[in-house]
Amino acid sequence: MLIVTLLILIGLLALAIPVAAGLGILGLSLSGIYSKLPLSLAIGEIAWGTSNNFLLVAIPFFVLLGEILLRSGMAERMYNALVLWVPWLPGGLMHSNIASCAMFAATSGSSVATAATIGTVALGEVEKRGYSERLFLGTIAAGGTLGILIPPSINMIVYGVLTETSIPKLYLAGFIPGLVLAALFSLTVLLICVIRPEMGGKPTSTSWAQRMAALPDLIPPLVIFLAVIGSIYAGWATATESAALGVIASIGIAAAYRRLTLRTLLNAFEGTMRTTAMIMAILLAAYFLNFVITSIGLTGQVNRFITSLGLSKVQLLIVVVLFYFVLGMFMETLSMMVATVPIIAPIMITAGYDPIWFGIMIIILMELAMITPPVGINLYVVQGLRKKGRIDDVIIGTSPFVITMLLMLVALSIWPQIALWLPQTAAT
């Protein structure tokens, strides 16, 4: 049964069928082959039950928030302000790329939006300042992945819904790993540019007066972050309500900067509808697939197979990490999460792993999938913005950051408190 499922899935992926359609076809195929009952009749109820989940309302709000930030020019001003603070470091603006991605991640909740926004602003600086193009592209693609680790995060919401895990606790757990990973990305750039100074571009200098004058441009992302995250932990709003507050704050700031036009809003609404429709289609198809594989007994079969291997706790973790690393090369991250987490998470929790900690591990593995070929979506986003050359340059540029993220997974495995300290402290 498991082999047949994998063969059908590989076949659908090879045919380049859209993810939502592929998951739906897989569910219908397995139902037709292994079930005596017409499981397809449950699609309507599953669709209603899934879309009726209050937490999922946060997804279009966070997408809209990112769209407004992008189209109002706030992201560009934020980047230009950060540029003034890091030119003294080896690597110069590449550190700005990572810092900007981290700050934008704290407001957008999306890796693709983060990479696209910062890439749009930053790419013009490559030739102007003589940076290694490959490494510069790598900082944007890798930095963009922080969008789903530093809260708020759409992927964390999905994981919380799938595993019935507290989303505020997941948000707290993502803070320190997100900042640590951003610091490790910056350290990676620093080490490369110390070893190969020619990759670090032409040094520039800025005055303290210029830096202080640019500080007001960093206030809008901070205000939005406080509106979203602060409202949750102050007890004023749920995760969904906080997303709405973030949208209100972003509209207010865009209006204050006189960048709120009817065209801006219409474009933001259109982008939000497109992205939300894609996410919900994937979720609905994945929920139906999960219903089918549970009904035909595939979930139990996988559990029995893994149990029969007699793996230790550490060995199980290594197998799961390798599984997601390989799968992430061929599947889009959101679909990979909704298709596998309902099966894998119970196994890991039964083995004694904390669901909050495992959620952060999953998110980092999703990040890793976004910059590993052939399907790494951030690679194509950055290459699309570049509009020249080959995608090989982006892949080579991100390879040092793949190693960095693997080291981050090792660190989290050895010191789980990196993720768990903040939610545990907040609970006491």
Question: CA end-to-end span of the chain, whole Å?
Answer: 46
d(CA 160, CA 54): 12
Domain that holds residue 239: 2-427
- Cα–Cα nearest to 152, from 214, 268, 237, 265: 237
**Cβ distance 319 to 328 under 8 Å?**
no
Q: Burial, 91: exposed, middle or buried (Cβ in 10 Å; 0-12, 13-18, 19+)?
A: buried
For position 13, what pLDDT does the model report? 63
pLDDT tier for residue 16 given thresholds of 50, 70 and 90: low
pLDDT tier for residue 182 given thresholds of 50, 70 and 90: very high
- Cα–Cα nearest to 250, from 270, 236, 264: 264
- Cα–Cα nearest to 395, from 413, 410, 408, 377: 377
Please give the mean pLDDT across all residues of the chain.
83
- Cα–Cα nearest to 152, from 99, 110, 101, 97: 110
For residue 179, what are its two tokens?
A: 């900042």
For position 356, what pLDDT does the model report? 95
Q: Which amino acid is at 412?
A: L
Angle at 356 between CA 153 and CA 351, to 5 degrees: 140
Per the document, the length of the chain is: 428
Question: 75-93 pLDDT, tens per residue?
Answer: 778 887 887 777 677 877 8
d(CA 45, CA 51): 10
For position 353, what pLDDT does the model report? 93
pLDDT tier for residue 2 given thresholds of 50, 70 and 90: low
**Cβ distance 69 to 75 under 8 Å?**
yes
Query: In this model, does residue 11 exceed pLDDT 80?
Result: no
Query: In this model, does residue 278 exceed pLDDT 80?
Result: no
pLDDT tier for residue 72 given thresholds of 50, 70 and 90: confident
Residues contacting 44, CB < 8 A, separation 6+: none
d(CA 182, CA 367): 12
pLDDT tier for residue 373 given thresholds of 50, 70 and 90: confident
pLDDT tier for residue 239 given thresholds of 50, 70 and 90: confident
Residues contacting 425, CB < 8 A, separation 6+: none
d(CA 201, CA 128): 9
For position 225, what pLDDT does the model report? 83
- The residue to which tokens 């990305």 are assigned: 185
Question: 53-66 pLDDT, tens per residue?
Answer: 777 777 788 888 87
Highest average pLDDT, of 307-321, 376-390, 411-425, comes from: 411-425
Number of domains in the chain: 1
Higher pLDDT, 427 or 103: 103
pLDDT tier for residue 96 given thresholds of 50, 70 and 90: confident
d(CA 13, CA 2): 17
pTM, full prediction: 0.81
Percent of the chain at pLDDT > 90 equals 17
- The alpha carbon of residue 375 and the mean position of all alpha carbons in its chain are separated, in whole angstroms, by 15
Question: 130-173 pLDDT, tens per residue?
Answer: 778 889 899 988 988 888 888 888 888 889 988 889 888 998 99
374 preceded by a cis bond (ω within 30 of 0): yes
d(CA 85, CA 233): 30
Q: Return the sign of the alpha-carbon dihedral for residues 55, 19, 289, 111.
A: negative
Query: In this model, does residue 203 exceed pLDDT 70?
Result: no
